[in-house]
Amino acid sequence: MIAFLSRLSRRKPPPAISLPLTRHPLSTTATSKLRSKYSFVPPPSLHPQSPPKNTNFQPELQTRKPAKPPYRPPSSLERSDPPIRSDLPFDFRFSYTESSAKVRPIGLREPKYSPFGPGRVDRVWTGVCAPAVDPKVGSAGIEGELEEKRRVMRDGVQGEALSNAERKALVERCQRPKTKKQINLGRDGLTHNMLNDIHNHWKHAEAVRIKCMGVPTVDMKNVCAQLEDKTFGKIIHRHGGQLILYRGRYYKPKERPVIPLMLWKPQEPVYPRLVKTTIDGLSIEETKEMRKRGLSVPALTKLAKNGYYGSLVPMVRDAFLSDEFVRIDCKGLPISDYKRIGCKLRDLVPCILVTFDKEQIVIWRGKDYKPTEGGYFLTERETFDDPDDDLCNDACGNESTDDNRSQTDFDSGNSDDE
């Protein structure tokens, strides 16, 4: 046994058989016939690739950029600018023609939050207006001082009055065939932001055309007065609801007044009811009977939406001469519009409001009605010509004509005696 084992140990091992090996792309030991038998080519993504070595590696350039902060819209609550200071000598209101300082509200619909934004104006918002003087410090005669200050500022801007030729040239330049630029004055009347629009128009032209429509046209006299008082300009032409507002001889666009803009429309305060349950001096049954009678009378006129109502007050005054009730058809108008019209008629005619039912304005002249003196009809076109200027021009023209005539007669050798 020992001899057999020693013979096996002296034998040489058989030679190893060498086989063609194909290296798998993912393994170094496995073999595959796919490349030779099926012409299989692995995609490049299966080859393990090591990241390229960057010999010029700089750590400060390879760091990731910080994330960009999300966008935040600007907010008026975060303003750090000083508040806007305006030296205009009047109280800032949303509308100067549709609100009056004489009528005091009985309540507010929202807290006293300024429509200019928090901290934008150095005036306190009272819920109705931003007074020019602090109400706690104001005195009884402060309104007269502010009115005098406005008059002085307006006179300094206007300068000498325009001649008839200059006025006619400006009016002709602002007519519709010449220019399409105009400012529309609608149901809110002369608003505060409209003052800024007027001054923007005055940058490029000496006069601006303003078209008045809707409720404010019932009292055009108030519209014209407020425009001249708040803009320091002068109206040089009026035809119905179309106005031409002149800026003045010494107006300088670079020295225009500072007008802070309202960012939103403030909520209207609560005012007393226009139509009461019972008319003063009458019982409930009598009031109901008057409302039935008022709704049954023929309509005096029908108001169009955004129309011109400048002749409404004279029409109502004339109608009261023959009838004690007047009904005005307001179908198609917003309820706020014909309530404002009724409020204006109550103060301008004057009259008593009976009802607003069925989109109608019914008014009563009252028991002791007296016609207003001074006529009823208002002219649609108002003249602004200066008669003294025309007389002066005629005199100068006649003198020049006489001089030319005498010179011609002298040259020709003719005389009146001959």
Please report how many Cα atoms fall inside a 13 Å half-sphere around the Cα of residue 324, on the Cβ side.
8
Q: How far apart are CA 370 and CA 177, in angstroms?
A: 46
What sign does the CA torsion over 193, 194, 195, 200 have? positive
Among the listed ranges 36-45, 93-102, 286-295, 327-336, which one has the minimum average pLDDT value?
Answer: 36-45
The helix (run of H) or strand (run of E) holding residue 352 is strand 352-355
Q: How many helices, marked H, and strands, marked E, lie in the chain?
A: 11, 11
pLDDT for 342: 95
**In the chain, % of residues over pLDDT 90:** 56
Q: Does a structural domain hold residue 96?
A: yes
Work out the pLDDT band at 399, boundaries 50, 70, 90. Answer: very low
pLDDT in tens, 212-255: 999 999 999 999 999 999 999 999 999 999 999 999 999 999 99
DSSP state letter for 18: P
The tokens for 132 are 């020019």
Same domain, yes or no: 98 and 180: yes
Same domain, yes or no: 293 and 348: yes
Q: How far apart are CA 185 and CA 195, in angstroms?
A: 11
| Domain final position from 204, 236, 255 | 255
> Residue 412: pLDDT above 80?
no
Work out the pLDDT band at 102, boundaries 50, 70, 90. Answer: confident
Helix ranges, 43-116 (H): 59-62
pLDDT for 281: 81
pLDDT in tens, 25-77: 444 445 666 666 666 676 777 666 665 655 555 555 556 788 888 888 776 55
Q: Does a structural domain hold residue 273?
A: no
Q: Does a structural domain hold residue 23?
A: no
Q: How far apart are CA 376 and CA 207, in angstroms?
A: 31
What are the DSSP E strand ranges found in 225-343? 234-239, 242-246, 299-302, 325-329
Among the listed ranges 198-207, 255-264, 270-279, which one has the minimum average pLDDT value?
Answer: 270-279
Same domain, yes or no: 174 and 215: yes
Q: How far apart are CA 10 and CA 246, in angstroms?
A: 132
| Domain final position from 239, 255, 271 | 255
Question: What's the predicted TM-score (pTM) here?
Answer: 0.73
Q: How far apart are CA 125 and CA 267, in angstroms?
A: 12
pLDDT in tens, 2-19: 666 666 566 655 555 554
> How many structural domains comprise the chain?
3
Cα–Cα separations (whole angstroms), residue 123 to 107, 116, 175, 271, 409: 21, 10, 39, 24, 73
pLDDT for 385: 79
The tokens for 406 are 């005498």
Residue 394 is part of which domain span? Answer: 390-418
Instruction: Choose from 19-23, 51-55, 111-115, 374-378 the range with maximum mean pLDDT.
Output: 111-115
Q: Does a structural domain hold residue 18?
A: no
The tokens for 21 are 């090996």
pLDDT in tens, 127-182: 999 999 877 765 556 778 899 999 999 999 999 999 999 999 999 999 999 999 99
